[in-house]
Structure 1
Amino acid sequence: MLKHWLLYYLCLCPLFLCAQTPQATPSGQTKDFFHQEGMKKVDGILPVYQHKGKVYLEFPRSVWGREVLISAQIDRGFDLVNRPAKSLGVVRVKVDDNKQVTLAQPSYADRMPEAFKEAVIEANEQTYPAEAVSPEGGIVIDVTKLLSTGSEWFSYSYTPIRGLDAQHASVTGASAFADGVCFHIQRRHGYSPERANVSSAITMLPEGSMPLWLSCTVSVLPADDMSVRLMEKDYGFQSLTFGDHMQDPYMKVTDSLMIRWRMEVSPADKQKYAKGENVRPLRPLTLCVDRHFPERFRPAVREAVAAWNNAFLRAGFRDALQLKELAENDNPATCQALLSYDLGTPDVERSYICHPRTGEILSCRINVGHGCTAALLDDYWWQEDVARNDSSTAVELLKGELLYAIGDMLGMRPSSPDPLFLKSSCTLDESSAWDAATGYRVFPDAKNCYEDRDQLRQWRKENRPKTDSKANLLNLYAGKLQHLQKQFRKLDKTQPADYRTLYKNGMQLYGRYVNEIARYVGSDQPETMQQEAMNLLTEYFFEGSTRFDNPYIRAHTTENRHTLLSSPATDVFTHLLSQETVATLQRAEWYAGKKDKGLTAQRFFQSLYASLFGNFEPDRDFTYEQLDLMLSCMEAWKNALNADEKSGNTTGKVRLETEWKHVKSQLEKLAESHPNPSMRSLFAWMSRR
């Protein structure tokens, strides 16, 4: 009997040992992998091994089942600095029995019960075989091709960058940081600028190649999730939509999560915070400024951050945003929030990566392209009486751009400075500060996201600031138009080198102001406000815009004033004479009392006829510009009559047809009675349209 047990044990022992011993890789490196001559190790939370041009990444047992963030950026090259690459994002590390590493991206479209756990749907998976197993049981995979030539983890598309030269791509090194590891990569790409593509003989020129330096970071995310915040329509934040199975036991409810940074109250400060005192957040958000960012623009960065810190006081946090100016030895790729300056696209571009389950922003980049404020300098001169070559103007305009870029970085809905009010856009408005308080106010006593939403609703109800009415905007538009006239009068005295461009910008700005005023007519604003808008159109548009001109500049440029006014005139009349606008004015006429002074359909057409058509008086002289406006009006009127109805009622169309007959009859009379023969011919032609 003892012999039988001994034989049975000897048979099972090899099987048992095989089950405990890590499976050998195809190359048999498991045993000797870590002791190869020349093997270099970068130690850290995610160890990296380098040997003879090969790069290996280890996933220790401590990160199995954890989530990691894979992100990348262009460090430099092709006039780009710290530009983000499209990256894999958040993945979960899974290791199966075959010692394969799987990076999984589950679907979070549906949230199941129990603290918002995701549904068991693996939307995307990438599996990598083990090259070795560390003595502690960590799985080592080969990432050489993934980083040097692959596009599985990251990719990028910028205008000057052409095809990859795979033979000259390599991973030059790796460096560890607190949460993970950063790989340093060098590639070469084809470069063929458009102006060099074709020679004078229509012969294709050979492409060159240029180096491109990149970084790819793999960061281990915290084990505890950020508490989620449910979204409301008026919260002013970006959001993630999902199907919630917890709010209704019988069906799925569509809801959304707010996208924001993790901003928490330190346990030691909870009592102070509950009493209404401002406290420093547990982890302030650090905005790193690249060392190549121009010194003359850094005051704009500091002022923009200070403005947002002031807004965060409403959320109960002080010094929520921190500035860090990077030194030469700092690695920009490992910064969560990074601000850079380069010669790329002349714009302020921003991007971020957020957690698809919680909405937590994990990384963001703000990239300022050289010349981003150049297009705004002329508009700023027209709006404000400042010198065009004043360097402080560019700093102020950049501050305005950064205010909105930081707002986007904080998770708020994308926005940009108002091109019609550039100076006021350089300060943080009340609504943006209120949105920040809504997104980042903390309610430590809330047991779950539903209680958090209820407490936030109550807090907003009790603390909502008084917002200014839109009525003040009309006064602002009137003031801007008055200032615009002054700038036109002094345009020839400024002696700009680019007369044509500056003159064109002024006319375009005039057209935008007039269009915004026209939008009030037929809107949901009070009828008295609509009447005020109509009065402004009469004064500054229908009676001609000769005040918005400079004869000297017009005589010395080839710019066609009619062409510049044609587009805004078409937009104004298309809105004013649309069936929807006229229907709104007609309804206001039906319900207007005898003492009401608001805009009605009758007052609208009377004002239009008196200002634009001169009340159809036969002895009235019209400028060519007024005649052009008449033609634009008649064309928009005809299009409105032929347009398909968007609603079931015909109120607007009936009134338009009635007034159209009246206008045609009056034009026919002018075609016979006006003393100017050319005018008579023009009115006759207009009446037949």
Structure 2
Amino acid sequence: MRNTLRKLRLLLLLLPFMVNMALAQKLPSIVSKTEGMKRYPGYFTFYWDEAGGKVWLEINRFDTDFLYVNSLAAGLGSNDIGLDRGQLGGERVVSFRKIGPKVMLVQPNLSYRANTTNRNEARAVEESFAQSILWGFKAEAEEGGRVLVDATDFLLRDAHDVIGSLKGSRQGSYRLDASRSALYLPRTMNFPKNTEFEAMLTFTGGDDAGRYVREVAPDVQALTMRQHHSFIQLPDGNYEPRKMDPRAGYFGITYYDYATPVGEDIEKRFIARHRLQKKNPGAARSEAVEPIVYYVDNGAPEPIRTALLEGARWWNQAFEAAGYQNAFKVEVLPDSADPMDVRYNVIQWVHRSTRGWSYGATVTDPRTGEIIKGHVSLGSLRVRQDYLIAEGLLAPYQEGKPESEEMMQMSLARIRQLSAHELGHTLGIMHNYAASVSDRASVMDYPHPLVQLDKGGNLNLSNAYAAGIGEWDKVAVTYGYEDFPEGVNEEQALNKLLLSGIDRGLQFISDRDARATGGAHPQAHLWDNGPDAAEELRNVLAVRQKALQNFSPNNIKPGMPYALLEDVLVPVYNYHRYQTEATAKLVGGVNYTYAVRGDKQTVTAPLDKKTQQQALDALLATLQPDVLTVPEHIIKLIPPRPPGYQASRELFDKRTGLTFDPMAAAEASADFTMSMLLHPERAARLVELQARHNSLGLSDVTDQLVKSTFKATRKKGLEEQVQQQTEQVVLTHLLALANNESTSYQARAVASLTLNNLKDYLQRQTRRMGDSPYKAHLTYAIERIENPGMVTVKLPQHKDLPPGAPIGSGVMGCE
């Protein structure tokens, strides 16, 4: 009895606390919590609290996957930093999980899976690899199984990592200023299958702001941009993933499936593609159940907008080849549409402070590879670069003659190709840099203007860029999008398709294999033309020579400062740069394919000695004084820039202060050739291939290099100075190779022997002459060989070429 009384007293004492706790735990209803707020019904219903400046998110589904995508709606405008308008961030499969008063936004680890009906086997994989909780919310109201959370802080965070991008590019230490950040309501919307939020964020600091920020920001201490957040319903389960084949040229998804039987490949690979199905799969040609539709930015001006439409529509040719009718369409984006809305595949026209890369990105279902949204960003200054190239080639502004239409025609032809190229990436298709050897068989190559000399010796730009889709593109689209009727073995049919393309001479070689510095593939190059790289280099040099001969005040419009002739001269003088890259890859070249067992393609085959020698001859021609020396009639035309016309990195680097420096231009060009010809990887490969096949060896290259420079007939005047400078550039690269620990011992040994033999030759030459500028040059070269520590042999140390490719960081999927 006494114990019962004690318990009763204790209960009476605790009762008020228990009542208070119960009252504290009971959440208000969503209706009462959101009274007076604007309701946005849709995929995830949300509310706008005008008074508090908050967004309240109503969560009505838990433990249900959806797609979360963040992006940059309004950018910084500097392609060097890369924070562009319309830039997509990562896509993540996520779900909401409620644990007591907390609501977690959880991202599962889809890189490691178990595709099995055995739940215990799947759980073992899930528990072996970490998941990620992206955000934690607090439940503030509850009603009928629905929970209300304050999503404001989630939406006003730096989801796109602008701060990290600025810091990583050494452009300043910034922080997010909450007092100057808010939801951006014009782009905050809701739809049945997607919920869209946008936030205006201001980043402050900037005391250490870098040059690129200072070029574009009105106030470096306050950078305001907009970030977008999308919650997207995942597609249904009716999409059929298509296996990746290395010969097909597709991006895609990969993951590890631990339910795979032992003896089979645990890594699964599927291509990325839009969902496209025929209304009648059994018909050879059929309309699509739902066509793929792209929208061109209505902010693009004419005639560019029309060119973008025309180029993008080329892809319908490929879909027709794959058996579709009217399955691919391109229209102008309606004024009412938001380009960040996941329902729209878009081609955006992006402005930056300097010309930069364009790129094609996608929102892709990480589970299957299905492309949900294609998103192209095209840099607006690229068209002006092509126009500048045409001005340099044509010298079109002659008094008394109308302005030529050829410049605009060539520029628009390039924009059509660029529109098609970047859209191709958003269809899932990779670069194909071997297309130029097969009569420009793909828009997924990087095209250089194909300019030719006619019978009268005049420059002809009429065929500068190809028009229409290429034969490889038709093969690629058919591989990715053909809808096979019931009963057809898909794997066998796709293999037959690829073999048919191979039999027709269509090749696919992509990014890594096409790079010039240490690259080995003889047919995969960026911005080249023709099946024979060395022969085309000779053609390009002839076009360049003709353009330099014609160079005059007629290369700029009347009334423009003469100093602007340098802007036009740069792309003309460096016109051969990319064909030089292509030709360099033939030296020490190895042909190969992405062969699979049984397809009878060439696996690997070293390039024959004759072809390599022809390439070396063409490369040595680019080092000759008559090629490198800027003609006197041009030098006299280019004064220092007047006030209001600032110099930029698009011009030649100089050692002469404000005046034009023809020597620096020649130095940069010679260094460009040498950086590829004596690249450490190429040097090691030349040694190895000569030992295996008695092909062109490194000693052959260095001996001929010395013969064509140091031992060549002496020139006079400015050509003499260019010749001697080129010899010092050659010497720098020989010294660098001899002292480069990343290359093979034998390559270093060959370079060292070449240097010793060269020193003996130079010493004999100096004993035959008295004091002279030439003797000074020889003596300095000897000193550099004997004391390599007197100069830094780490490259680069010479003047660099002005940028030819778009400025900024190029990545796969970009041009």
* TM-score of the pair, normalised by structure 2: 0.66
What are the ranges of 5 or more consecutive residues in structure 1 without an aligned counterpart?
Answer: 1-22, 199-204
One-letter amino acid of the structure 1 residue matched with residue 551 of structure 2 = L
Deviation for aligned residue 1:99? 8.1
Max radius of gyration: which structure? 1
Judge conservation of contact 2:322–2:478 (CA < 8 Å) in 1.
yes
**Whole-Å separation in 2 of the counterparts to 1:315 and 1:610:** 55
Judge conservation of contact 1:231–1:258 (CA < 8 Å) in 2.
yes
Partner residue in 1 for 2:573: 507
One-letter amino acid of the structure 2 residue matched with residue 439 of structure 1 = G
290-299 or 344-353, larger mean C-alpha shift: 344-353
Partner residue in 2 for 1:459: 497
Judge conservation of contact 1:474–1:517 (CA < 8 Å) in 2.
yes
Partner residue in 2 for 1:573: 674
**Whole-Å separation in 1 of the counterparts to 2:717 and 2:765:** 10
Partner residue in 1 for 2:767: 672
One-letter amino acid of the structure 2 residue matched with residue 142 of structure 1 = V
**Whole-Å separation in 2 of the counterparts to 1:51 and 1:400:** 47
Out of 573, 585, 594, the residue aligned to residue 519 of structure 1 is: 585
- Report Cα offsets for 1:334-364 as digits up to 9, x if no partner: 2332223354454334433322221222234
One-letter amino acid of the structure 2 residue matched with residue 123 of structure 1 = Q
> Residues 625, 654 of structure 1: CA spacing in aligned structure 2 closer, same or farther, 3 A cutoff?
same
> Residues 209, 323 of structure 1: CA spacing in aligned structure 2 closer, same or farther, 3 A cutoff?
same
One-letter amino acid of the structure 2 residue matched with residue 89 of structure 1 = R
Partner residue in 2 for 1:479: 539
Judge conservation of contact 2:66–2:231 (CA < 8 Å) in 1.
yes
Partner residue in 1 for 2:347: 339
Pair 1:550-2:647 in alignment = no
One-letter amino acid of the structure 1 residue matched with residue 366 of structure 2 = P
One-letter amino acid of the structure 1 residue matched with residue 731 of structure 2 = M
Out of 236, 245, 255, the residue aligned to residue 242 of structure 1 is: 255
Partner residue in 2 for 1:13: none
One-letter amino acid of the structure 1 residue matched with residue 28 of structure 2 = Q
Pair 1:182-2:196 in alignment = yes
Partner residue in 2 for 1:363: 373
Judge conservation of contact 1:508–1:564 (CA < 8 Å) in 2.
no
Partner residue in 2 for 1:533: 615
> Residues 474, 319 of structure 1: CA spacing in aligned structure 2 closer, same or farther, 3 A cutoff?
farther
> Residues 233, 467 of structure 1: CA spacing in aligned structure 2 closer, same or farther, 3 A cutoff?
closer
Pair 1:47-2:45 in alignment = yes
**Whole-Å separation in 1 of the counterparts to 2:50 and 2:117:** 47
Partner residue in 1 for 2:422: 405
> Residues 343, 534 of structure 1: CA spacing in aligned structure 2 closer, same or farther, 3 A cutoff?
closer
> Residues 383, 553 of structure 1: CA spacing in aligned structure 2 closer, same or farther, 3 A cutoff?
closer
Helix, strand or coil for the counterpart of 1:217?
strand
Deviation for aligned residue 1:50? 4.6
Deviation for aligned residue 1:605? 5.9
Pair 1:90-2:93 in alignment = yes
Alignment of 1:433-448 (within 5 A): 433-443=474-484
**Whole-Å separation in 2 of the counterparts to 1:297 and 1:618:** 48
One-letter amino acid of the structure 2 residue matched with residue 467 of structure 1 = L
One-letter amino acid of the structure 2 residue matched with residue 169 of structure 1 = A
Q: Which has the higher contact order (CA 8 A, sep 6+)?
A: 2
Judge conservation of contact 1:74–1:85 (CA < 8 Å) in 2.
yes
Partner residue in 1 for 2:246: 233
- Report Cα offsets for 1:415-455 as digits up to 9, x if no partner: 886374474477655545543433334446599xxx85565
One-letter amino acid of the structure 2 residue matched with residue 373 of structure 1 = V
> Residues 499, 288 of structure 1: CA spacing in aligned structure 2 closer, same or farther, 3 A cutoff?
same
One-letter amino acid of the structure 1 residue matched with residue 288 of structure 2 = P
One-letter amino acid of the structure 1 residue matched with residue 109 of structure 2 = S
**Aligned residues between the structures:** 637
Deviation for aligned residue 1:191? 7.8
Judge conservation of contact 1:366–1:405 (CA < 8 Å) in 2.
yes
- Report Cα offsets for 1:102-128 as digits up to 9, x if no partner: 432110122213389794256123454
One-letter amino acid of the structure 2 residue matched with residue 69 of structure 1 = L
RMSD across aligned C-alpha pairs, in angstroms?
4.5
- Report Cα offsets for 1:155-188 as digits up to 9, x if no partner: 65687997444376246486443413334x5646
**Whole-Å separation in 1 of the counterparts to 2:393 and 2:261:** 54
Judge conservation of contact 2:86–2:377 (CA < 8 Å) in 1.
yes
Judge conservation of contact 1:162–1:192 (CA < 8 Å) in 2.
yes
Deviation for aligned residue 1:506? 2.9
**Whole-Å separation in 2 of the counterparts to 1:207 and 1:639:** 41
One-letter amino acid of the structure 2 residue matched with residue 520 of structure 1 = L
Deviation for aligned residue 1:301? 1.5
> Residues 609, 315 of structure 1: CA spacing in aligned structure 2 closer, same or farther, 3 A cutoff?
same
Helix, strand or coil for the counterpart of 1:235?
coil
Partner residue in 2 for 1:109: 111
Helix, strand or coil for the counterpart of 2:429?
coil
One-letter amino acid of the structure 1 residue matched with residue 193 of structure 2 = D
Judge conservation of contact 2:683–2:743 (CA < 8 Å) in 1.
no
Alignment of 1:235-384 (within 5 A): 235-249=248-262, 253-263=266-276, 265-266=277-278, 268-272=279-283, 277-334=284-341, 335-344=343-352, 346-347=355-356, 348-382=358-392
Pair 1:142-2:154 in alignment = no
25-34 or 634-643, larger mean C-alpha shift: 25-34
**Whole-Å separation in 2 of the counterparts to 1:333 and 1:604:** 54
> Residues 646, 207 of structure 1: CA spacing in aligned structure 2 closer, same or farther, 3 A cutoff?
closer
Pair 1:635-2:729 in alignment = no
Helix, strand or coil for the counterpart of 1:295?
coil
Helix, strand or coil for the counterpart of 1:412?
coil
Deviation for aligned residue 1:482? 0.7
Partner residue in 1 for 2:550: 490
Judge conservation of contact 2:395–2:554 (CA < 8 Å) in 1.
no
What are the ranges of 5 or more consecutive residues in structure 2 without an aligned counterpart?
Answer: 1-21, 78-82, 212-217, 397-403, 433-443, 451-463, 508-521, 524-530, 591-606, 639-658, 786-815
* TM-score of the pair, normalised by structure 1: 0.77
> Residues 495, 645 of structure 1: CA spacing in aligned structure 2 closer, same or farther, 3 A cutoff?
closer
**Whole-Å separation in 2 of the counterparts to 1:561 and 1:131:** 71
Deviation for aligned residue 1:317? 3.5
**Whole-Å separation in 2 of the counterparts to 1:519 and 1:287:** 38
Pair 1:33-2:32 in alignment = yes
Judge conservation of contact 1:280–1:318 (CA < 8 Å) in 2.
yes
Judge conservation of contact 2:703–2:754 (CA < 8 Å) in 1.
no
Higher relative helix content: 1
Helix, strand or coil for the counterpart of 2:336?
coil
Alignment of 1:566-645 (within 5 A): 566-577=667-678, 581=682, 604=701, 607-608=704-705, 610-614=707-711, 623-644=720-741
**Whole-Å separation in 2 of the counterparts to 1:181 and 1:617:** 73
One-letter amino acid of the structure 1 residue matched with residue 93 of structure 2 = V
Deviation for aligned residue 1:84? 3.9
Helix, strand or coil for the counterpart of 1:270?
coil
Alignment of 1:179-218 (within 5 A): 179-183=193-197, 185=198, 187=200, 189=202, 216-218=229-231
Deviation for aligned residue 1:499? 1.7
- Report Cα offsets for 1:299-352 as digits up to 9, x if no partner: 222222122222334443344432232333334332332223354454334433
**Whole-Å separation in 2 of the counterparts to 1:599 and 1:196:** 51
Helix, strand or coil for the counterpart of 1:287?
strand
Partner residue in 1 for 2:446: 418
